[in-house]
Chains A and B, each alone.
Chain A
Amino acid sequence: MLIVNFVKHLHSFDLIVDFQAKSEVLGILGPSGCGKSMTLKCIAGIEKPDSGYIELDGVVLFDSVKNINLSPQDRHMGYLFQHYALFPTMTVEQNLLAGIRPENTENKMSEVRQIITTMKLVGLENKKPDQLSGGQKQRVALGRILLNKPKILMLDEPLSALDQYLKWQVQLELVELFERWQKTVLLVSHNREEIFQLCDTVSVLTKGVNEAKQTVEELFNAPQSLSAGVLAGCRNFSKIEIIDLSQGLFKAHDWGVTLHSSKLTPGSRYCGAYSHNFEVTNKISGNSAVAENLIPVSCLYRFGKGVTESLVCSTPGGSNGHSVLYLELRPVEGGITDKDEPFQVSIPPQDLIFFNS
């Protein structure tokens, strides 16, 4: 059990972090410069928070009231740095040996041999880090951490420094590792894919403050704030005005239309929708535009000839803040061939997301 609750003054904002983690893979999702890496550094003891409390498995690591601040050496945290931090003058084997703590030196060679096998590093023992690929470097760094027998794993953007085609492989390796590990993993990233693919739970960190922990599915389906929505990958937002709460009726100002959804709550101030949830519709049925959640749009730009086509469309919202809609459509679905012809899209009521802030 990891308990984290601290404040750290940074140059332009205060970092306020508060969460607990059990045997789970907890992701911290936030934009660049939001304090993610600083959070890990504070937990690892590399940086000292200005006040607060950090506890791991009943051991107090930091307590500003009781003036406790364990050194990074005494915290037993497995920290995977973004660029792996392999020691450049040492070979793979020497790097792995450096992971063994002074108190566990008996059997060290057999432990290193074993980790070389499990981390698929056979044949690379005498290579220097700059002779390795990104994936190999990460396996060496993880091997070095595992030999250190840490109490938790902390990973700083483990997939970001890798080429696209390596990501798949490394992702599988990490998933396998997490299954064997069975203890807390803390993973920070600015990339939602990384979080969605590797984590069980997630806490969004924006403007230096972290939101309550939720499952990854919850973040995707019901982000807690506009900025969490942006991080979850939602691209379309509108300020709203509630017309009739009982019928779920509201005016979406930015899009210039009236829509409905039973998910509307009294405190809702904004709505959002994922690009892929819009459907092109040619229906002119008896139902009103409101009942169908129709939005008349004109295409401004389109790009992408792959599986999905991306469209940027104008809405009746005119020049309001987020009046442009970003749509991802399967080309066959819509059959929109003429760029200049206005058309209609609908958004299913259950796919609308509402935000209070």
Chain B
Amino acid sequence: MIFPQMDWFPLLNSLRVAIISTVVIFFSGIYAAWHIAKLPHLFKGILDVILTLPLVLPPTVVGFFLLKMLGPYSAIGSFLINTANTRLVMEWYSAIFASVVVAFPLMYRTARGAFESFDPDLQYAGQTLGMPNWKIFWKIVVPTCKQGILAGTVLAFARALGEYGATSMISGYTPGRTATISTTVYQLWRTGDDAQAYLWVLINIAISCVVLFAINSLEAKNSTKHPVRDLERS
């Protein structure tokens, strides 16, 4: 029996990293998407490239940059070690930096697509009716763009959960401290523990299937939303 002696830490750690990253990405992605969607063409293009870059860069390159930015010899890293005795790398929460940067573009791009197809008249209507801008955003814009925002959130969560390259560089692999599902699978394969490796692979596949089902059901809901839109019912 494998289960009783199973160390569930990698699952819990992966989940907490992914959940915290998703919360961060949710708000920052929506914020960036909303403001960038309204920018003039040139600025939009430049910012878009910068913010989407982590999606296409090898995760090791992202990890390299993160280590240079947050490592103990960097300005931020050394400052925090000296003042708060806190280090930003090789801890469980270091993986959050990696997964936020890598998964952010998925949220940002999906939400931006949704915002770009948002009818600006709805926003103007809210304004002429005297609604404050923050209320218009959260009560009208976000609910109207719900499909895109949810899809982006699910994609970002899935990507954050599966992050390996940058995570292994910035968090390392310490069993019971920084191990995630993906770094554990690699470690188990390296040590030849196929039984445990298979188990984690199955867990990973199961989570991914749930995520994909979630995305598909969101899309299906979207496409059957107006079955009788064109019927006149006056």
On whether the beta carbons of B226 and A130 are closer than 8 Å, the reply is yes
User: Which B residue sits closest to A44, measured CB to CB?
Assistant: B128
User: Which A residue sits closest to B226, measured CB to CB?
Assistant: A130
On whether the beta carbons of A73 and B130 are closer than 8 Å, the reply is yes
- Answer whether residue A75 sits at the interface, using C-beta atoms and an 8 A cutoff: yes
When distances are taken between beta carbons in the complex, the residues of chain B under 8 Å from A74 are 130
The distance in angstroms between the C-alpha atoms of A147 and B127, with both chains bound, is 15
When distances are taken between beta carbons in the complex, the residues of chain B under 8 Å from A75 are 128
When distances are taken between beta carbons in the complex, the residues of chain A under 8 Å from B226 are 130
On whether the beta carbons of A135 and B128 are closer than 8 Å, the reply is no
- Answer whether residue B177 sits at the interface, using C-beta atoms and an 8 A cutoff: no
On whether the beta carbons of B121 and A85 are closer than 8 Å, the reply is yes
The distance in angstroms between the C-alpha atoms of A78 and B234, with both chains bound, is 24
The distance in angstroms between the C-alpha atoms of A130 and B225, with both chains bound, is 9
When distances are taken between beta carbons in the complex, the residues of chain A under 8 Å from B140 are 87, 89
- Answer whether residue A316 sits at the interface, using C-beta atoms and an 8 A cutoff: no
* A83 nearest CB across to chain B (Å): 7
Contact with B128, one of A46, A87, A133, A163 (Cβ below 8 angstroms):
A46
* A207 nearest CB across to chain B (Å): 25
* B227 nearest CB across to chain A (Å): 10
The distance in angstroms between the C-alpha atoms of A82 and B143, with both chains bound, is 22
The distance in angstroms between the C-alpha atoms of A76 and B226, with both chains bound, is 34
Contact with A85, one of B125, B143, B229, B234 (Cβ below 8 angstroms):
B125
* A289 nearest CB across to chain B (Å): 53
On whether the beta carbons of A46 and B127 are closer than 8 Å, the reply is yes
The answer to whether residues A81 and B131 also contact, given A88-B144, A130-B229, A166-B234 and a CB cut-off of 8 A, is no
On whether the beta carbons of A132 and B129 are closer than 8 Å, the reply is no
- Answer whether residue B124 sits at the interface, using C-beta atoms and an 8 A cutoff: yes
When distances are taken between beta carbons in the complex, the residues of chain A under 8 Å from B234 are 133-136, 166
On whether the beta carbons of A132 and B233 are closer than 8 Å, the reply is yes
Interface size on B, residues (CB 8 A): 23
Interface size on A, residues (CB 8 A): 36
- Answer whether residue A264 sits at the interface, using C-beta atoms and an 8 A cutoff: no
Which residues 164-191 in A have Cβ within 8 Å of B in the complex?
A: 166
When distances are taken between beta carbons in the complex, the residues of chain B under 8 Å from A88 are 122, 144
* B136 nearest CB across to chain A (Å): 10
- Answer whether residue A331 sits at the interface, using C-beta atoms and an 8 A cutoff: no
- Answer whether residue A58 sits at the interface, using C-beta atoms and an 8 A cutoff: no
On whether the beta carbons of A44 and B124 are closer than 8 Å, the reply is yes
The answer to whether residues A79 and B146 also contact, given A85-B122, A87-B140, A130-B226 and a CB cut-off of 8 A, is no
On whether the beta carbons of A131 and B128 are closer than 8 Å, the reply is no
On whether the beta carbons of A98 and B229 are closer than 8 Å, the reply is no
- Answer whether residue A256 sits at the interface, using C-beta atoms and an 8 A cutoff: no
When distances are taken between beta carbons in the complex, the residues of chain B under 8 Å from A76 are 130
- Answer whether residue B40 sits at the interface, using C-beta atoms and an 8 A cutoff: no
When distances are taken between beta carbons in the complex, the residues of chain B under 8 Å from A71 are 127
The answer to whether residues A73 and B146 also contact, given A133-B233, A133-B234 and a CB cut-off of 8 A, is no
Contact with B124, one of A46, A89, A145 (Cβ below 8 angstroms):
A46
Which residues 94-145 in A have Cβ within 8 Å of B in the complex?
A: 98-99, 101-102, 130-136, 144-145
* B132 nearest CB across to chain A (Å): 7
Q: Per-residue CB proximity of B56-97 to A under 8 Å, as 1/0?
A: 000000000000000000000000000000000000000000
When distances are taken between beta carbons in the complex, the residues of chain B under 8 Å from A78 are 128
* B103 nearest CB across to chain A (Å): 27
When distances are taken between beta carbons in the complex, the residues of chain A under 8 Å from B144 are 87-89
* A66 nearest CB across to chain B (Å): 22
User: Which A residue sits closest to B122, measured CB to CB?
Assistant: A85
On whether the beta carbons of B143 and A89 are closer than 8 Å, the reply is yes
The distance in angstroms between the C-alpha atoms of A102 and B139, with both chains bound, is 15
The distance in angstroms between the C-alpha atoms of A131 and B229, with both chains bound, is 7
When distances are taken between beta carbons in the complex, the residues of chain B under 8 Å from A163 are 232
Q: Per-residue CB proximity of B136-160 to A under 8 Å, as 1/0?
A: 0001100110100000000000000
The distance in angstroms between the C-alpha atoms of A133 and B231, with both chains bound, is 8
* A78 nearest CB across to chain B (Å): 7
- Answer whether residue B126 sits at the interface, using C-beta atoms and an 8 A cutoff: yes
On whether the beta carbons of A81 and B125 are closer than 8 Å, the reply is yes
User: Which A residue sits closest to B120, measured CB to CB?
Assistant: A46
Contact with A148, one of B119, B124, B129, B233 (Cβ below 8 angstroms):
B129
Q: Per-residue CB proximity of A42-60 to B under 8 Å, as 1/0?
A: 0011100000000000000
When distances are taken between beta carbons in the complex, the residues of chain A under 8 Å from B128 are 44-46, 72-73, 75, 77-79, 148
The distance in angstroms between the C-alpha atoms of A148 and B125, with both chains bound, is 11
Q: Per-residue CB proximity of B14-55 to A under 8 Å, as 1/0?
A: 000000000000000000000000000000000000000000
- B residues within 8 Å of A by Cβ? 119, 121-122, 124-132, 139-140, 143-144, 146, 225-226, 229, 232-234
The 7 closest A-B pairs by CB, nearest first: A85-B125, A133-B234, A72-B127, A89-B143, A85-B121, A79-B128, A101-B130
